[in-house]
Structure 1
Amino acid sequence: MSTAGKVIKCKAAVLWELKKPFSIEEVEVAPPKANEVRIKMVATGVCRSDDHAINGSLFTPLPAIIGHEAAGIVESIGEGVTTVKPGDKVIPLFVPQCGKCSPCKHPEGNFCLKNNVTKPRGTLMDGTSRFTCRGKPIYHFIGTSTFTQYTVVDEMSVAKIDADSPLEKVCLIGCGFSTGYGSAVKVAKVTQGSTCAVFGLGGVGLSVIMGCKAAGAARIIAVDINKDKFVKAKEVGATECINPRDYEKPIEEVLKEMSGGGVDFSFEVVGRFDTMVCTLKCLEISASAF
């Protein structure tokens, strides 16, 4: 039986208070309004930004359904939607693409002026929510809200993907992969034959390595204190893997010796001040840091 045009009751992880555990609740998800899309979520990742929302370092109105790194299938669409249809596989976009503002039109820009990241309002573009729970409205999170079986997003916050895409894998494209790969290819613009250092071999760090490899880097030196990550790092393109704990001297000096004076590009994917300093110090003087 079709659910189009009807309220859907489903399970969702609701964050009622900061620094408190999620509560698995039955929520009501209203049908999409004009220029909106309702999605059946199939897979979602957990990103550090979600944790930032939980601990309050990234503000979002509460109570809310968090989550932004996901993939799913379009369940129904509102009036005026033309880019997707029911049954399409899609990825929600926490940075929307209106296609009309100056950043969207710029060949190197993508930070749409209609984004909900810098000034979180907790609603869709019309200023209202599609979620309710226990008789109360529940806020959206940066236009996506993926920790739920069904969500509603604005049409500009969704991207259609290939029908053969494995949703449990491509959900990472929504944030983690694009952040890492894009930092190498789009931001740093890693050059052919260059030497790169990547500090941190989590999902984003591995994506940086893939980006460096795709850009043609000759050497990609992966750095992490967890040696168990080295096998996967080499599988995706690292040419060497080193553990700072194996050396008596600072790791930036080790990298400078390995690279003959300093690496060309260096990426910090840990989020610690000390590793950021190392990332800068291991560079050749004329090189770039990210």
Structure 2
Amino acid sequence: MNTSGKVIKCKAAVLWGLEQPFSIEEIEVAPPKAHEVRIKILATGICRTDNNATTGVMPAKFPVIVGHEAVGIVESIGEGVTSLKPGDKVIPLCVPQCGICSNCLKPDSNYCDMLDIVGKGVLSDGTSRFTCKGKPVYHYMNTSTFTEYTVVRDVAVAKIDAAAPPEKACLFGCAFTTGYGAAINTAKVTPGSTCAVFGLGGVGLSVIIGCKIAGASRIIGVDINPRKFEKAKAVGATECVNPKDHTKPISEVLKEMTGDSVRYTFEVTGNLDTMIDALASCHKNCGMSVVVGDPPASSVLTFDPMLVFDGRTWKGCIFGGWKPVNDLPKLVSDFMAKKFNLDELVTHILPFDKIEEGFNLLKKGESIRTVLTFQH
């Protein structure tokens, strides 16, 4: 059946408001307009950033379809789309690459002006492509992947190897790309160095993979959930520590463990206190701490300025520093060539209608990444 140019009715997980459960609804997905693409979603990961939208930590306009880590197939394209065609296997991008804004034109910046982290919830013309029960339903982070079909801008799509398995390749839409790039691109971890990763979820484990590939000799995983230690060691952590097992600040514990201090630290939880702990844990003069986790919206961080006056470097990281349209196809090709293994990151694969179960696994700390699959 040719659906090009027609409204598609399909199932989606709609959030009607804050602290509400996901509701599987029939929605209508409009055809793509100029420079837009409609995508049939094959698999999508559950990320803590999506959960943050349900609690207000990340801004969203309700009702909304969240989800931002997925693989799909291009179903149809709008006028003016030249880089993609129906049938292409793609990753929708929460960080677009328009190629013409001042940020995209900078070789060392990937913070495209079309990035939506303020929760506008609409596409370029100021409207949504989703409706449910006669009401508009809003987009999330340019992507909205908790639905059988979504519509995104063509600059927010990366074409990937057609043979890439969706259940693994979807992690390139956020978790792996962000964590791996934080080590490789943002920190530029050096061979023989010592690293500490605060938070051992899907992104944190991806940071560890990046540190290992970069040649770090010691990688310390830090988490208050010891059930994650086995996975962390499986991907490259040399040891793990639980701050709750110690009465001293974790920065002192790490200094005692290393005999000096850690050269690179990564904060991957989005917790404000942990950000300061991670900063204090890196070497006071030549250390670098990278903020990878999403901080709460409208929050303010208070810290001792001596932590940076002494010479530490404090950096933020958006999507691993990658130019996504250019770089994701290469990263997926590296994965297909077995440069890195993502098996340890995916702990659960569930059908899409089990989305609440997937989020419960996340909240209980029982999963690294749960991937939802669609039966079209």
The TM-score range, normalised by the shorter chain, is over 0.9
Deviation of 1:230 (Å): 2.1
Deviation of 1:257 (Å): 2.1
After superposition, the C-alpha distances for 1:31-53 in whole angstroms (9 at most, x for unaligned) are 11221111011111222222222
Question: Which residue of 1 is the match for residue 53 of structure 2?
Answer: 53
Percent identity reads 65
Matches of 2:244 and 2:17, distance apart in 1:
39
Matches of 2:72 and 2:170, distance apart in 1:
8
Q: TM-score, normalized by length of structure 2?
A: 0.73
3-state SS of paired residue (1:65): coil
Question: Which residue of 1 is the match for residue 3 of structure 2?
Answer: 3
The equivalences for 1:109-128 within 5 A come to 109-118=109-118, 120-128=119-127
Contact in 1 for aligned 2:20/2:54 (Cα 8 Å):
yes
The equivalences for 1:244-263 within 5 A come to 244-247=243-246, 249-263=248-262
User: Where does structure 1 lack aligned partners over 5 or more consecutive residues?
Assistant: none
Question: Which residue of 1 is the match for residue 39 of structure 2?
Answer: 39
Deviation of 1:258 (Å): 2.2
Matches of 2:282 and 2:117, distance apart in 1:
32
After superposition, the C-alpha distances for 1:246-268 in whole angstroms (9 at most, x for unaligned) are 44544322321222210101112
Matches of 2:240 and 2:267, distance apart in 1:
15
Deviation of 1:91 (Å): 0.7
| Structure of greater relative contact order (alpha carbons < 8 Å, 6+ residues apart) | 2
Higher normalized strand content (fraction of residues): 1
Q: Which amino acid aligns with 1:34?
A: A
Deviation of 1:108 (Å): 1.0
The equivalences for 1:179-190 within 5 A come to 179-190=178-189
3-state SS of paired residue (2:283): strand
Q: Which amino acid aligns with 1:270?
A: T
Greater mean deviation of Cα atoms: 147-156 or 269-278: 269-278
Matches of 1:199 and 1:238, distance apart in 2:
12
Contact in 1 for aligned 2:59/2:117 (Cα 8 Å):
no
Matches of 1:182 and 1:245, distance apart in 2:
29
Aligned residues: 289
Deviation of 1:75 (Å): 1.0
Q: Which amino acid aligns with 1:90?
A: V
Q: Which amino acid aligns with 1:177?
A: F
Question: Which residue of 1 is the match for residue 315 of structure 2?
Answer: none
Contact in 2 for aligned 1:95/1:117 (Cα 8 Å):
no
The equivalences for 1:260-279 within 5 A come to 260-279=259-278
After superposition, the C-alpha distances for 1:145-173 in whole angstroms (9 at most, x for unaligned) are 11100001110011111111111111121
Q: TM-score, normalized by length of structure 1?
A: 0.94
